[in-house]
C-alpha cells in the first residue's frame, strides 16, 4: 500500500480525520499516482518505440509535399513507429547526403533524385526484390527510369516519379498574332518569338537561360540531342568534340543565336537561375519558356490569370528529332539502417496506387509516370495541359543517351559543363569551336576518373 | 666481477648528479615553474591539437587522396595538386579570386576612408548617419545577397527599373549578372557594399584617437586640408589601415556566399572564385580529395597575408 494512504488510514482509525476527508485525500493521492504512472508508461513507450529517419525532397509543389508528409504520418501511427522527417531542397540536397554519408550518419531512407542511386551506391542497400515487386504490378518501368535505379542488375532505388513539364506558351498572345504552336526550335520558336514579342514593353519571345542551373542543364542536354549530337556516343565514350562535333556546334550556335542574333531572349537571361524564368513568365514578361510542372502548379494554385492563357506543349525539337532527358525520383534505403524492413513497408505504403493517385492529383502534373500503368491513368486527361507533360515524360531518354547511364554522365550534369560551354561563348567571347573543345576536355577528364560505368 | 657497495654508491651519486644537472638545465632554460607551466598550457594544447591540428592534418592527407563519397580514400600523392595546376577552369578561378579580392578591397578602402572623413567632420545627425552606414555590415550576408539578386534582375530588378523607366538613363535594361563586362563588377559591388562600413568604422576609431592639437598645429602652419590628411591623418591611422586591409583581404578571398547566391560562379565561369570552385568540386563533382586540394591551394597566399599581418601587429605592440 502507498505510504501516504497508510498514514491516512491510521489517522482515520485514530479519529484524527473525518471519513469524508479521508476519502477526499485518498482520491487525490490515488488519482495523482495513476496520472503519474500513465505518464511514465507513455514516456517508456515513446523511448522504446522504433524511430525512423526519413529524408524527403521539398519540391516547389507544396501541396504534394504536405500530402506525402501526411501519408507518412498516417503510416507511422498505424505501425506505431516514430518518424523523423527532414526535408532537402534543390539547393542543399546533395550537400546533406554527402555530409551525412561521410559522417556515417545517413537517414534510414531518403527520396533521391536520378543521381542518388549512382552517386551514393556504396552507402545504399540493394533493394532489387522490392523494386522489382513494385514495378511488376505496375506494368514495369519506363527505360529512362529503369536505368537510373537498376545499376548492373542491382536496384539501389525504388522509382517513384519523374517531374513532368514542357514548353509553356502564352496561347493568348499566339492567337492574337495568328501564330501556330511551335514544333521545332528553329525556325518555329524563333519565328513565334519574333512575331509575338515586344521588347519596348519588356515582353520577350523566349526565356531560356544557358547559365549554371538545372533549367540550363536540361535545355543544353536536349538541344544537343535535337541536333543529332550529344555528350556521349553509343558506347558511353565522350563525343562532344569527336563523333558529334558537327551536330553539337550547330546546337551551340543556335542556342547562342537566340540571345545574340535573334534577340528573342530578355536581357540578363544568362544570369538566371532556376526560379528566374518562372518569375518572368508569371510577371507576363515571356511568351514562352521551358519549365517543370511546378510553374503550372504555381499558377493554378494561386489562381493566376495566366494559368488559363497558358498552354503546355511538347518541348520543341530539332533537325534530328525531339529529345528530352528525364530522371526518376526514387526511394533509397541506406546500409546503416537497422529498420530496412520498416523502410520497405513504408515504400510499399506510399507507392500504393490509391495513395499515389492522391499525390498525383495534388501535384498538378508534376508526378510524371515512371511505371507504365500509371501513364494510363484517367487523371492525365483531366486537363489539356497534362497531355503535353505526360507525352514529354513518355518520350524521355536518360542522361548519357545514346550510351549507357553512367557516373560520368551524372557528373557532367552535376558540374554544369554544358552550361559553362554555352556561357563561354555568350559571355566569355569564345568561339563555339573553342568552347566545345574546352568542354570536351573536361568531359574527357571526368571519363578518365569515373570511367563508363555506373 | 661483483660490484661492491662502494662502487654502487658512486654510480648512483653520479646518476643523481646527472639528473639534477639536467633538471637544473631545464629549470634554467624553461624557468623555475616549468612543470606547472606545462600543466597550465596542456588543456589548450590538447584543444588546439584536437580542433585545429588534427582536422588540418587530416585535410592535408585527404587532399592527397582520391576520395569519393562513401568510399575509403586512396592515396595518390600530389596528383590532385598537379591536376589542378594545369586545369584551365581552376586557373581562371584563381585569377578571378584575385580580381574579386583586390577589386573589392581597393574600393572598400576608398569608400571606407570617405565614410570616416565625413563622419569626423561637423555634420548634422552624425550618430544617425553612423548607424545607417553600419546597416550593410550588420545585415546577414545571405539576406543582402538575395536582395541584390532581385535588384540586379534584368527584367524585374529595381536597378534596371530606375535606370530605364524612372531616370531614363539607359534605353534598355542591363543583364548585370549575365554579361562579361558587368558580372564580376556586380558581385564586387555587393561585397563592397557589405564590407565598406567595417573599413569606415575602423578608420573612424583611428581618426578619433589622433590628438586635435596636431590638426591645430598643422592649420597654424598653413597646411591645407589635403596636406593635413596626408601628414597628420594618414600617419595616425596607418597601422589601422594596414590591419583592416589585411583582414579584409583574407575575408574577401574566402567569401563564398555572395558569389554563390548571385551567380554560382557563372555565367561561363566569369565569376568563378576559389571558394565556389571548391564547393562545386566537393558537392557537385563529389571528388572530395580534389576539393580539399583546391581549398588548400589558397593556403600559401593566405598564409603570407596572415604572416605579414601577425608581424605587423607584433611590431606595433613592441613600439
The pLDDT of residue B123 is: 86
Asked if B180's CB is within 8 angstroms of A122's CB, the reply is no
Banded pLDDT at A24 (limits 50, 70, 90) = confident
The pLDDT of residue A42 is: 58
Q: Which whole number is the average pLDDT over A138-146? A: 96
Residues of B in contact with A423 (CB under 8 A): 266-270
Report the gap between the CA of A255 and the closest CA in chain B (Å).
14
- Helices assigned H by DSSP within A178-244: 190-196, 214-226
**pLDDT at A37 > cutoff 80:** no
Residue B196 lies in a domain: yes
**pLDDT at A113 > cutoff 60:** yes
Q: How far apart are CA A165 and CA A290, in angstroms?
A: 8
Asked if B178's CB is within 8 angstroms of A427's CB, the reply is yes
Q: How far apart are CA B63 and CA A234, in angstroms?
A: 35
The pLDDT of residue A15 is: 61
Residues of A in contact with B160 (CB under 8 A): 267-268
Return the exposure string of A221-240: e unless at least 16 CB atoms fall within 10 Å of the residue's CB, then b.
Answer: bbbbbbbbbbbbeeebebbb
Q: Which residue has the higher pLDDT, B246 or B100?
A: B100
What's the CATH architecture for A52-163+327-394? 3-Layer(aba) Sandwich (3.40)
Q: Which whole number is the average pLDDT over A154-177? A: 96
**pLDDT at B145 > cutoff 90:** yes
A379-411: per-residue pLDDT in tens?
A: 999 999 999 999 999 999 999 999 999 999 999
Of A123, A423, A446, the CB nearest to B267: A423
Of A266, A271, A424, the CB nearest to B263: A271
Q: Which whole number is the average pLDDT over A418-437? A: 95
* Helix%, strand%, coil% for chain B, nearest 5: 75, 0, 20
Banded pLDDT at A454 (limits 50, 70, 90) = confident
The CATH number of residue B165's host domain is: 1.10.3720.10
Banded pLDDT at B317 (limits 50, 70, 90) = low
User: What's the 3-state SS for A300-318?
Assistant: HHCCCCHHHHEEEECCCEE
Taking all residues of chain B, what is their mean pLDDT, rounded to a whole number?
A: 89
Asked if A121's CB is within 8 angstroms of B267's CB, the reply is no
Q: Do domains A52-163+327-394 and A165-325+406-450 have the same CATH topology?
A: yes
Residue linked to cell 562532344: A240
Residues of A in contact with B173 (CB under 8 A): 202, 266-268
DSSP for residue B171: S
Asked if B89's CB is within 8 angstroms of A119's CB, the reply is no
Banded pLDDT at B100 (limits 50, 70, 90) = very high
Report the gap between the CA of A332 and the closest CA in chain B (Å).
15
Residue B37 lies in a domain: no
State what percent of residues in chain A have pLDDT above 90. 84
Q: In what order do the strands lie in the sheet with A109-112?
A: A82-88, A51-57, A109-112, A329-333, A158-163, A367-368
Asked if A416's CB is within 8 angstroms of B284's CB, the reply is yes
**pLDDT at A26 > cutoff 50:** yes
Residues β-bridged to residue A151: A154
Could you tell me which chain B residue has the CA closest to the CA of A267? B175
B188-236: per-residue pLDDT in tens?
A: 999 999 999 999 999 999 999 999 999 999 999 999 999 999 999 999 9
Does residue B278 sit at the A interface (CB-CB below 8 Å)? no
Could you tell me which chain B residue has the CA closest to the CA of A269? B178
Query: What is this model's ipTM?
Result: 0.82
**pLDDT at A45 > cutoff 70:** no
State what percent of residues in chain B have pLDDT above 90. 68
The pLDDT of residue B23 is: 65
Does residue A438 sit at the B interface (CB-CB below 8 Å)? yes
Of A102, A424, A429, the CB nearest to B69: A102
The pLDDT of residue B283 is: 93
Query: How many domains does the structure of chain B reveal?
Result: 1
Report the gap between the CA of A341 and the closest CA in chain B (Å).
23
**pLDDT at B1 > cutoff 50:** no
Q: Which of A68-72, A148-152, B294-298 has the lowest mean pLDDT?
A: B294-298
**Domain locations in chain A?**
3-47, 52-163+327-394, 165-325+406-450
Q: What is the domain range of residue B282?
A: 82-318
Q: Which of A111-125, A155-169, A180-194, B171-185 has the lowest mean pLDDT?
A: B171-185
The pLDDT of residue B300 is: 87
Taking all residues of chain A, what is their mean pLDDT, rounded to a whole number?
A: 92
A311-353: per-residue pLDDT in tens?
A: 999 999 999 999 999 989 999 999 999 999 999 999 999 999 9
State what percent of residues in chain A have pLDDT above 70. 91
The pLDDT of residue A124 is: 97
Tally C-beta pairs within 8 A across A and B. 144
DSSP for residue A325: B
The pLDDT of residue A38 is: 65
Q: How far apart are CA B159 and CA A325, in angstroms?
A: 36
Q: Which whole number is the average pLDDT over B67-75? A: 94
What's the CATH architecture for A165-325+406-450? 3-Layer(aba) Sandwich (3.40)
Q: Which one of B178, B186, B289 makes the best mutation probe of the A interface by having the most chain A beta carbons within 10 Å?
A: B178
Asked if A101's CB is within 8 angstroms of B286's CB, the reply is no
**pLDDT at A88 > cutoff 90:** yes
**pLDDT at A35 > cutoff 70:** no
Banded pLDDT at B265 (limits 50, 70, 90) = very high
Residue linked to cell 594544447: B45
Amino acid at each position: 500500500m502507498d505510504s501516504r494512504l497508510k498514514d491516512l488510514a491510521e489517522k482515520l482509525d485514530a479519529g484524527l480525520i473525518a471519513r469524508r476527508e479521508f476519502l477526499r485525500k485518498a482520491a487525490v493521492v490515488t488519482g495523482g499516482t495513476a496520472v503519474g504512472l500513465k505518464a511514465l508508461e507513455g514516456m517508456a513507450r515513446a523511448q522504446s518505440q522504433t524511430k525512423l529517419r526519413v529524408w524527403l525532397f521539398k519540391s516547389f509543389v507544396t501541396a504534394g509535399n504536405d500530402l506525402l508528409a501526411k501519408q507518412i504520418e498516417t503510416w507511422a501511427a498505424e505501425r506505431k513507429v516514430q518518424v523523423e522527417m527532414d526535408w532537402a531542397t534543390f539547393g542543399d540536397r546533395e550537400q546533406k547526403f554527402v555530409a551525412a554519408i561521410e559522417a556515417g550518419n545517413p537517414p534510414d531512407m531518403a527520396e533521391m533524385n536520378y543521381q542518388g542511386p549512382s552517386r551514393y551506391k556504396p552507402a545504399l542497400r540493394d533493394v532489387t526484390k522490392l523494386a522489382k515487386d513494385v514495378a511488376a504490378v505496375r506494368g514495369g518501368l519506363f527505360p529512362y527510369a529503369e536505368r537510373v535505379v537498376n545499376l548492373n542488375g542491382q536496384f539501389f532505388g525504388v522509382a517513384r516519379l519523374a517531374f513532368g513539364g514542357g514548353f509553356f506558351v502564352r496561347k493568348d498572345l499566339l492567337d492574337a498574332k495568328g501564330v501556330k504552336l511551335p514544333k521545332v526550335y528553329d525556325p518555329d520558336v524563333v519565328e513565334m518569338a519574333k512575331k509575338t514579342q515586344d521588347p519596348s514593353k519588356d515582353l520577350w519571345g523566349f526565356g531560356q537561360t544557358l547559365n549554371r542551373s538545372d533549367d540550363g542543364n536540361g535545355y543544353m542536354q536536349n538541344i544537343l540531342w535535337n541536333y543529332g549530337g550529344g555528350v556521349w556516343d553509343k558506347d558511353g565514350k565522350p563525343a562532344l568534340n569527336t563523333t558529334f562535333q558537327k551536330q553539337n556546334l550547330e546546337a551551340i550556335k543556335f542556342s547562342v543565336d537566340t540571345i545574340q542574333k535573334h534577340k528573342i531572349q530578355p536581357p540578363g537571361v544568362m544570369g538566371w537561375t532556376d526560379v528566374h524564368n518562372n518569375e518572368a513568365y508569371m510577371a507576363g514578361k515571356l511568351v514562352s519558356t521551358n519549365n517543370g510542372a511546378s510553374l503550372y502548379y504555381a499558377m493554378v494554385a494561386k489562381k493566376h490569370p495566366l494559368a488559363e492563357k497558358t498552354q503546355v506543349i511538347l518541348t520543341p525539337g530539332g533537325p534530328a528529332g525531339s529529345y528530352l532527358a528525364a530522371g526518376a525520383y526514387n526511394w533509397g534505403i541506406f546500409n546503416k539502417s537497422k529498420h530496412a524492413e520498416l523502410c520497405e513497408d513504408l515504400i510499399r505504403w506510399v507507392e500504393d496506387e490509391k495513395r499515389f493517385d492522391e499525390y498525383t492529383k495534388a501535384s498538378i502534373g508534376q508526378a510524371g509516370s515512371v511505371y507504365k500503368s500509371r501513364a494510363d491513368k484517367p487523371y492525365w486527361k483531366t486537363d489539356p495541359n497534362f497531355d503535353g507533360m505526360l507525352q514529354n515524360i513518355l518520350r524521355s531518354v536518360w542522361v548519357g543517351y545514346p550510351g549507357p547511364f553512367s557516373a560520368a554522365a551524372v557528373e557532367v550534369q552535376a558540374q554544369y559543363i554544358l552550361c559553362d560551354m554555352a556561357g563561354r561563348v555568350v559571355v566569355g567571347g569564345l568561339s563555339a569551336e573553342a568552347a566545345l573543345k574546352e568542354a570536351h576536355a573536361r568531359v574527357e577528364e571526368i571519363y578518365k576518373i569515373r570511367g563508363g560505368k555506373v | 666481477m661483483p660490484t661492491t657497495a662502494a662502487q654502487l654508491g658512486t654510480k648512483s651519486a653520479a646518476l643523481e648528479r646527472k639528473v639534477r644537472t639536467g633538471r637544473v638545465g631545464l629549470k634554467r632554460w624553461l624557468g623555475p615553474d616549468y612543470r606547472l607551466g606545462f600543466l597550465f598550457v596542456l588543456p589548450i594544447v590538447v584543444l588546439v591539437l584536437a580542433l585545429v591540428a588534427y582536422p588540418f592534418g587530416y585535410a592535408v592527407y585527404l587532399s592527397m587522396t582520391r576520395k569519393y563519397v562513401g568510399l575509403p580514400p586512396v592515396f595518390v600523392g600530389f596528383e590532385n595538386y598537379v591536376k589542378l595546376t594545369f586545369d584551365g577552369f581552376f586557373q581562371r578561378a584563381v585569377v578571378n579570386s584575385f580580381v574579386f579580392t583586390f577589386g573589392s578591397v581597393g574600393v572598400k578602402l576608398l569608400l571606407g576612408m570617405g565614410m570616416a572623413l565625413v563622419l569626423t567632420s561637423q555634420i548634422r545627425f552624425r550618430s544617425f548617419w553612423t548607424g545607417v552606414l553600419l546597416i550593410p555590415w550588420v545585415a546577414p550576408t545571405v539576406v543582402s545577397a538575395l536582395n541584390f539578386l532581385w535588384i540586379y534582375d534584368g527584367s524585374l530588378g529595381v536597378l534596371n527599373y530606375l535606370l530605364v523607366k524612372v531616370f531614363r538613363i539607359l534605353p534598355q535594361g542591363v543583364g548585370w549578372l549575365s554579361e562579361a563586362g558587368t558580372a564580376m563588377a556586380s558581385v564586387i559591388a555587393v561585397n563592397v557594399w557589405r564590407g565598406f562600413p567595417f573599413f569606415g568604422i575602423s578608420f573612424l576609431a583611428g581618426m578619433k584617437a589622433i590628438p586635435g592639437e596636431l590638426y591645430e598645429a598643422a592649420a597654424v602652419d598653413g597646411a591645407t586640408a589635403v596636406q593635413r590628411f596626408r601628414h597628420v591623418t594618414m600617419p595616425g591611422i596607418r597601422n589601422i589601415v594596414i590591419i583592416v586591409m589585411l583582414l579584409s583581404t583574407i575575408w574577401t578571398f574566402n567569401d563564398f556566399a555572395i558569389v554563390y547566391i548571385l551567380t554560382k560562379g557563372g555565367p561561363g565561369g566569369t565569376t568563378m572564385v576559389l571558394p565556389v570552385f571548391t564547393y562545386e568540386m566537393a558537392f557537385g563533382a563529389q571528388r572530395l580529395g580534389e576539393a580539399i586540394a583546391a581549398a588548400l591551394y589558397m593556403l600559401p597566399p593566405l598564409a603570407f597575408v596572415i604572416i605579414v599581418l601577425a608581424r605587423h601587429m607584433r611590431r606595433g605592440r613592441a613600439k
